[in-house]
Structure 1
Amino acid sequence: MRVIVTIQHPGHVHFFRNAIDELQADGHEVHVFARESGVAIDLLEAAGIDYEVLAGDANSLPSLAAVQATYEARLLRRARAIDPDVITAIGGVAAAHVATALRTESVVFYDTEHATLITSLGYPFADVICTPTCYRDEIGSKQVSYPGYHELAYLHPDRFDPDPSVLELAGVERDEQFAVVRLSSWEASHDVGHGGFDDPHEVVDRLEDAGATVLLTAEGEPPAELASYQLQTPPEKMHDLLAYADVVVGEGATTAAEAAVLGTPSVYVNSLSLGYTAELDSKYGLLFEFSDENRHVEALEKAVSIIEREDDPWEARRERLLAERVDVTDVIVRTLETTARSGRPTQTKHAANLG
Structure 2
Amino acid sequence: MVIKESVGRKKVHVWFDICHTPQYNFYKNLIIRLAEEGHLVYITVLNRGKMPLIIQKELIAYPTIKIYIIGKHRLVKWSAIIDANLIRIVKLFLWSLNKRIDISYSNAFLSALIGKVRDFPTFTFDDDPQTLAFKPKMWFSKISHYCLYELPPGYTLSSKVKVLPVLKEWAYLAPNVFVPDMKFLDKYKLKPKEYFFVREVSVGTVNYAGQSAGAVMDIASKIPQDKKVLFSLEDKSIKDMYPKDWILLEEPVEGIHSLIYYSCALISSGDSMAREAALLGVPSYYLGIRYDMPANYAASRLGVLHNRKSMDFEEWIECFKANLSYKKEQENIRGTINRLFIDINEYMYSFVNELEKRRE
Mark yes or no: TM-score above 0.5: yes
Query: Which segment drifts farther, 66-75 or 150-159?
Result: 66-75
Shift of 1:77: 1.9
Alignment-derived partner of residue 218 in structure 1: 233
Is 2:330 the counterpart of 1:314? yes
Alignment-derived partner of residue 3 in structure 2: none
Alignment-derived partner of residue 296 in structure 2: 277
Shift of 1:246: 0.5
Q: Do the aligned partners of residues 307 and 106 (structure 1) sit closer, same or farther apart at CA in structure 2, a change above 3 Å counting?
A: farther
Structure number with higher helix proportion: 1
- Confirm or deny: 8 A CA contact 1:170 1:231 kept in the other structure: no
Alignment-derived partner of residue 32 in structure 2: 21
Classify the secondary structure of the residue corresponding to 1:189.
coil
For 1:107 and 1:93, how far apart are their aligned partners in 2? 9
Higher relative contact order (CA 8 A, sep 6+): 1
Alignment-derived partner of residue 124 in structure 1: 139
Q: Give CA-to-partner distance per residue, 1:91-117, whole Å, 9 cap, x none.
A: x2211211122122111000022468x
Q: Do the aligned partners of residues 281 and 4 (structure 1) sit closer, same or farther apart at CA in structure 2, a change above 3 Å counting?
A: same
Aligned match for 1:46, one of 54, 57, 60: 57
Amino acid at match of 1:218: L
Q: Give CA-to-partner distance per residue, 1:113-142, whole Å, 9 cap, x none.
A: 2468x9455343222111123353443111
Q: Do the aligned partners of residues 64 and 280 (structure 1) sit closer, same or farther apart at CA in structure 2, a change above 3 Å counting?
A: closer
Classify the secondary structure of the residue corresponding to 1:330.
helix
For 2:48 and 2:247, how far apart are their aligned partners in 1? 20
Q: Which runs of 5+ in 2 are unaligned?
A: 1-11, 61-65
Query: Which segment drifts farther, 63-72 or 157-166?
Result: 63-72
Query: Which segment drifts farther, 23-32 or 307-316?
Result: 307-316
Amino acid at match of 1:302: W
Give the superposed CA RMSD. Answer: 2.7
Aligned match for 2:314, one of 293, 300, 304: 300
Aligned match for 1:107, one of 118, 123, 145: 123
Aligned positions of 1:161-200 closer than 5 A: 161-172=179-190, 174=191, 177-195=194-212, 200=216
Shift of 1:226: 0.8
For 1:195 and 1:25, how far apart are their aligned partners in 2? 43
Shift of 1:10: 1.2
Q: Which runs of 5+ in 1 are unaligned?
A: 345-355
Classify the secondary structure of the residue corresponding to 1:215.
strand
Q: Do the aligned partners of residues 71 and 201 (structure 1) sit closer, same or farther apart at CA in structure 2, a change above 3 Å counting?
A: closer
* Identity across matched positions, percent: 18
Classify the secondary structure of the residue corresponding to 1:82.
coil
Q: Do the aligned partners of residues 227 and 310 (structure 1) sit closer, same or farther apart at CA in structure 2, a change above 3 Å counting?
A: closer
Shift of 1:21: 1.5
Alignment-derived partner of residue 9 in structure 2: none
Consecutive aligned runs of 4 or more in structure 1 exceeding 6 Å deviation: none
For 2:299 and 2:75, how far apart are their aligned partners in 1? 32
- Confirm or deny: 8 A CA contact 2:192 2:264 kept in the other structure: no
Shift of 1:22: 1.4
Q: Do the aligned partners of residues 75 and 226 (structure 1) sit closer, same or farther apart at CA in structure 2, a change above 3 Å counting?
A: same
TM-score by length of structure 1 reads: 0.84
Shift of 1:202: 4.7
- Confirm or deny: 8 A CA contact 2:211 2:289 kept in the other structure: yes
Aligned match for 2:88, one of 71, 74, 78: 71
Q: Do the aligned partners of residues 323 and 169 (structure 1) sit closer, same or farther apart at CA in structure 2, a change above 3 Å counting?
A: same
Alignment-derived partner of residue 75 in structure 2: 59
Aligned positions of 1:248-287 closer than 5 A: 248-272=266-290, 273-282=292-301, 284-287=302-305
Amino acid at match of 2:159: S
Aligned match for 2:249, one of 197, 221, 232: 232
Amino acid at match of 1:169: K
For 1:42 and 1:19, how far apart are their aligned partners in 2? 19
For 2:343 and 2:321, how far apart are their aligned partners in 1? 30
- Confirm or deny: 8 A CA contact 1:179 1:246 kept in the other structure: yes
Amino acid at match of 1:151: E
- Confirm or deny: 8 A CA contact 1:247 1:303 kept in the other structure: no
